[in-house]
Chains A and B, each alone.
Chain A
Amino acid sequence: MIDIIVFAILGTLAIAFSLLVVEHRSLVYGAISLGFLGIVNAALFALIGFTFIALFHLAVYVGAGVVFILFSVTMFREVPTVEIRVKRIALVIVTLIAISLAAIFWPYSNISVVAQSISYRELSKVFTEDYWFPFLVTTIALVTTLIEGITLARREAR
C-alpha cells in the first residue's frame, strides 16, 4: 500500500516538474525544475530496485549536467517565442505519440513490479567485460566534450 502512495506522489511530481520545465517563463526556473525532475526520476528508479543507477543519475545527471545548464542559462537573454499555430499542431502530434506508445506497450499492462535486487559485482563484471567498448567510447566522448566546450566558449565573436 505504501508503495502505491509513494508512486502516486512521485508520478504527480514528475509530471508537474515536466510541465514546469517546458512552460515556465524563466529559463532559470525551467532548469531548476529539470533538476527536481531528475531527483524524482532517481526516486522512481530506486522504487523499481535500481538503487545504484538512481545514485549515478543523481551524481552525474543532476549533479553535473543540470547544474551545468543552470549556470549556463544565466548567460542568455530570455526569448519568449511561441507560435500559436505550431502549438496546436504540436498538441495533435503529441497526443498521437502518447496514444501510439500506449498501444505499443499495452501487452505489459498485466505485469506487476517487484523491486529488483541487483548484484553490483555482476553489474560491474558485465560492464567491464561485455560493454567495455561503449564504456570506452562514452569516456572519450566525455573528454572531447570537455575540450570542445572550453574551445567553443573561449572563441571570440567576430
Chain B
Amino acid sequence: MLNYFLFLVISFVMFAIGAYGLLSKRNMIRMLLSAEVMFNSALLTLLVLAATADPIRGGVVALIAIGVSATEIGVMISVGILFFKVRGEIDVYKLSKSREQKSRRLKT
C-alpha cells in the first residue's frame, strides 16, 4: 500500500523544478518545456487527489486538461517559430527589449 503523500511529494518536486526553469531561463522553448514539467506535476496531483474523492470526474477533467495542453504546445511553438523567423532569436529578454525600444522610437 502506498501513501498518497509520496505521490504528492514527487509532484511538488517536479513542480519546483519546472518553476525554477520557468523563472531562470530566457529561451522561449526552454520556458515552454519547464511549463510542461509543471503541467505534468499538476496532472499527477489532480489524479492523486481525484482518486480520494471522485475518480470518474477527476479522470474527465484530466482528459480535458491533456487536450488543452496539446493545444497550448501548438500555440507556443507556432509563436516561437514566428519570432524566430522575424527576429532570428527566441531570447525573451531581447524580444521584450526590442519592443520597448520600438515603442520609445514611436513616442519620440
A residues lining the B interface (CB < 8 Å): 3-4, 7, 11, 14-15, 18-19, 21-23, 27, 30-31, 34, 37-38, 41, 44-45, 47-50, 52-53, 56-57, 60-61, 64-66, 68-69, 72-73, 75-83, 86-87, 89-91, 93-95, 97-98, 101-102, 105-106, 108-114, 116, 118-119, 122-123, 126-127, 130-131, 134-135, 138-139, 141-142, 145-146, 148-149, 152-153, 155-158
Task: Determine if A27 and B30 form an interchain contact, defined as CB atoms under 8 angstroms apart.
Answer: yes
In whole Å, how far is A56's beta carbon from the nearest beta carbon of chain B?
Answer: 6
Task: Determine if A4 and B2 form an interchain contact, defined as CB atoms under 8 angstroms apart.
Answer: yes
Task: Determine if A48 and B29 form an interchain contact, defined as CB atoms under 8 angstroms apart.
Answer: no
* With A53-B62, A72-B77: A111-B56 Cβ-Cβ less than 8 Å: no
**New A-B contacts (13) at CB < 8 Å, excluding given A113-B51, A145-B75:** A19-B17, A22-B21, A22-B33, A41-B44, A49-B55, A56-B63, A108-B5, A116-B55, A123-B59, A138-B67, A142-B67, A145-B71, A149-B75
Label chain A's interface by main secondary structure. helix
Say yes or no for B26: interface residue by CB 8 A criterion: yes
Bound-complex Cα distance A155 to B79 (A): 11
